[in-house]
Amino acid sequence: MLSSARKLWRRGRDFFPVEGFYFDRPLVVLQSDDWGRAGLRDQEGLEHLRSAGFALGGRPYDLYTLETADDVAALQAVLNRHCDSTGRPPCLEANFMVGNLDLARMEADGFHQIHLLPLAAGLPQGWHRAGLLQAYREAIDDGIFHPALHGITHFCRAAVERELLADGERAEFLRALWRAGTPYIHWRMPWIGFEYWDPEQPVVERFLPAAIQQESIGQAVGLFSKLFSMVPKSACAPGYRANDDTHSAWARLGIGTAQNGPGTLTPPHLDRHGLLQLYRNVEFEPATDPSFCVENCMGQADSCFARGVPVIVSIHSIHFHSSLSGFRDRTIALLDQFLSALEARHPDLLYLHDGDLQQLVEKGFFENVHATTRVNVIRKKYSKRQTRQHAKAK
């Protein structure tokens, strides 16, 4: 009974109009997840796992490692070659994982429990990324990175702790990865879930209880502040798995914008917590999308501009990794093409980060070192169902 009432309510809600924000100039935001998240360590870690029986290379995320200071510099250089109609370069909303596994402490107690290492304190045992934290900070000072919060573990800690306690095959699988300096490879073990979402619980209990989410997000905000000497103003939940409790915790901790995954042409809108909800609508993911091409991205961008919706590009950090793959150089070349095409086709283009968009919605203008820019903000009702139809039509 409860379940069918819930379904009916959800279906009704899709027709219920919500007030969205539309704009009369082409706006472009770049959102990027997973910065600071350690994956496969290096060539030695790769060989270690291969000799332990892992046939790595089946999917791009097998080669997910971690950016280097050079990777950040290469991204910074390409973004600095571009500018919008006010002379401002594109700025990447970079969502950071502010912790990793403390593999040294975990090894010391036989990999029987999880210990966390703040990113501000460096990388796990065996990892080397000279100058990486400094490179992040320089990119922020340069206005090329606008740091935001992704989370601490990315996986659901409760799910992993349950498997460690059960001490079966799954625990052994995790320990084999940990011995090679790799926290996890999600597609090979989707049961680890996402930070606020435990996939093997009954459907209505998958999101972690509000109090646990609140505590974890509070801890993440503290670690973020230590890392960057500022509090995060925007957040994106790992795996896009956020519910009303996540949004409530973010809002209480001073976060103003919530990032959502792609698939619709939903305009920015305010939720009941006062958070500005943003939805990605152009997927720029060349290393993981076999059908990727710049023309498709331009087509998706045109659909957004035609409706007065900001282009919000999704581009994960994996595309800028170079140490175990050639992802970075291809991405940089394609991104260069994409930005050039946008600038050529739209002489009144504006590059913004989430904070600018929030300011624009609140005040009708946004300010930065380059300019104070006014844009007409149009408030218009839409229903969820309309944004789905638009997405299908493109």
Applying CB under 5 A, the residues found at the interface with Zn ion are 33-34, 238
Residues 6 or more apart in contact with residue 269 via CB below 8 angstroms:
18, 19, 20, 21, 276, 277
- Least distance (Å) from Zn ion to the CB of residue 148? 12
- Least distance (Å) from Zn ion to the CB of residue 65? 14
- By C-beta, is 23 or 64 nearer to Zn ion? 64
- Least distance (Å) from Zn ion to the CB of residue 161? 20
- Least distance (Å) from Zn ion to the CB of residue 70? 22
Residue nearest to Zn ion (CB): 33
- By C-beta, is 27 or 116 nearer to Zn ion? 116
Tokens 């493109």 found at: 394
- By C-beta, is 89 or 239 nearer to Zn ion? 239
Long-range CB contacts (< 8 A, 24+ apart) of 198-203? 198/156, 198/158, 198/159, 199/156, 199/159, 200/159
- Least distance (Å) from Zn ion to the CB of residue 21? 26
The phi, psi pair for 206, rounded to 5°, reads -70, -40
Residues 55, 61, 65, 67, Cα dihedral to 10°: 160
- By C-beta, is 78 or 149 nearer to Zn ion? 149
Contact at 8 Å (CB) between 20 and 267? yes
- By C-beta, is 96 or 382 nearer to Zn ion? 96
Whole-number Å distance between alpha carbons of 27 and 309: 8
- By C-beta, is 34 or 283 nearer to Zn ion? 34
- Least distance (Å) from Zn ion to the CB of residue 194? 8
- By C-beta, is 33 or 62 nearer to Zn ion? 33
Q: In sequence order, what are the beta bridge partners of 294?
A: none
- Least distance (Å) from Zn ion to the CB of residue 45? 20
Contact at 8 Å (CB) between 266 and 387? yes
